[in-house]
Chains A and B, each alone.
Chain A
Amino acid sequence: MSWPVKTIAERTGDLLPGSPWTAALYVLLTILAVTAFMTVTGLVLIYAERKIAAHFQCRLGPMRVGWHGVLQTIADALKLLLKEDIVPRDADALLHILAPVLSFAGMLLVMIALPMSPSLQVADMNIGVLYVTAVSGLGVLGILLGGWSSNNKWSLLGAMRAGAQIISYEVSATLALLVVVLFSGTLQLSGIVQSQEAGWWIWRAHGCGIVAFAIFLIAGTAEINRTPFDLAEGESELTAGFHTEYSGLRFSFFFLSEFLNMFVLAAMTSTLFLGGWMPLHIGHFTVFNGVMDIIPPGLWFTFKTTGMIFLIMWFRWTFPRLRVDQLMRLEWKILLPIGFVNLFVSAACVVTGCYFFAR
C-alpha cells in the first residue's frame, strides 16, 4: 500500500493558477485552522496534565467548572486574559513584550512542519529535519530575553539556566535525530515516516534505534524545560524562574508555548521513532498489516503522540528535579558520548546494509 503525501502548501499551489482568490481564501482558512488547532490542543493538554497529575496524587483535580472540570482551563484562560498587564518599571519594556512572542513563534514554526497524516501537513520541506532543529532553537531566545529584560535576579538565573540547558541538550537531540536520518536516508519528515512502512525505527534499527529514542526523549524533555529538567522554572528554587515577572496574557503565552512544545516533542518522537502516522506493520504479515491499515493514519498519529505525552507527564509527576551541575554532567559526560558512539554504530549498520525487516 502506498501513501501519497499531499500537503496543504501543495494544494494551495494547485489552486493558485486557476484562481488566486480561492488560494488566498484557502490560506486564510488554513491559518485559522492552525490557530484553532493550537489553542484547542493547548487547552486539552493543560486539562489533561491537571487531571493526570491529580490522579497520580490521589486527588480528583478540577471538578467544578463543567463536567469533571472540562471547562476549567477555559475559565482560567479567560481569567488570564482579563488580568492587569504589568511591565515592571525597570524592565526593558520592548524586550519584555517581545520575549513571549518569540517563544511562541519558535513553537509555531515547528508546528507547520509536523506530518500529522498524509493529507494533514502544512508544509513538507525536503530539509524538514534540519528546519525543525534550527527553528526550535528560537524558543530559547524568548526565554533568555524574558529573563534578561525582567530585571529580576531570579528571572536572570532562570534564563541563564535555560540558556545553558537548552543549548547543551540540543546537541544530543540532534545526534539522536541524525541516527534516524542515516537509516531512512532522507531529511524530509514525510519521507522519514514513509521509510518506516516495514517497521518503526525504534526497533528496526537494531539497538541504535532504541538508544537514540531514549536520548532523544531525555534531551527533548530537557529542551522543553519539564521535570526532571525544569531548572529554568524551578519553582522551589527560583520562585518562577524566567517568567517570575510575567502576568496575564504574556504569562499565558509562555505557558501555552510550554505545553505546545510538549506536543511538538511528542509528535517529533513518534514521527522519528514510532512511525508517525504510519500504521503498525510487521514485516510481511500481509493480513495483519491490512487490518492495521483500516485505522486511518491521523488516528495512528494521535495514539502515538498521546502515548508519548502521557509518558512525559508521568516523568513530571514522579521525578524530582536535578541540580544545575548534575544536569550539565548528564549531558556532556553521559548523553553526548553515548550519542556519538550510537551515531557511529548506526553509520556502520547503514553502510553494511544491516536492517531488521529489510525492504
Chain B
Amino acid sequence: MQRRSITAPVILIFVLAALLIASAWFTDHYILMSFAVLAAGLLFMLVRFESRKMEVGELVIIAVIAAIASVGRIPFAGIPGAQPTTFVIIVSGVVFGAETGFMVGGVAALASNMVLGQGPWTPWQMAVWGLIGIISGLLRNRRFMQNKWGRILFGAVCGYFFGAIMNIWGLYAAGGPAGTLSTKMVLSYFGASLLFDSFHAISNALFLLVFGDIFIKILTRFKGKYGLLQ
C-alpha cells in the first residue's frame, strides 16, 4: 500500500470543525448542516478513491458487486427492510476491506436511486451503506467476524444501525430545531421504526446465514486467483 498524503484528512478535519462552529451560530438549520457534514464526508472518501492507484479490473469488479447489491434492492423496493443490499455490502467489506466496502455501499445507493428515484434520502443512504461497508472492512480481522455466527450478529446490528441513521434524517425533516425535537418525539419515532428495522435485521441475518459463507468463499477465491483488490 502506497503512502497517502495527509492533505485531504487535514482539510476534512478543518471543514468539520468549521461546520461545528457554524452550527453553534445557525442553530435553526439542522437539515442544511447535516447535508453539509454528509457532503464533506462523502467527498473525502471519493477524493481518496480518486487518488488511489488502481487496476481497471478492480474498478470493474467493484461495479459488478455494487450492481448485484442494487439489483437485489429493486424487486424488494416495496417491502421496507427486506433487501439483500446490506448483506452484499457487508460481505464485500469483509473480503475486500474498508475502502472497497465503502465504494460498494455508496455506489449501490446512488445507482439504485437512479432507477428508483432520487430524493433527499440519497446522500443519507450513501453515507449509511458506505459506513456499513467501512465498519465491516475494519472489523474483518477480529475474531467474531471470522466466525459465522459473529457475522450474523453483526448483520443484525447493521439492520438497526441503518434504521437509526435513516431515522435521524426523518427527524430533521419532520421536527425542526425550534425545540420540537423533544426526547419523547425522538423515542416514539424510533419506536415506530423498530418493526421495519427488525425486518431489515432479520433479513440481513438470514442472508448471512444462507448465502454468507459461499459469497465470502467465491469473492476470496476470485481475489486470490487474479490478485485484485488485495
Determine if chain A interacts with chain B: no
Instruction: Mark B residues whose CB is within 8 Å of A.
Output: none
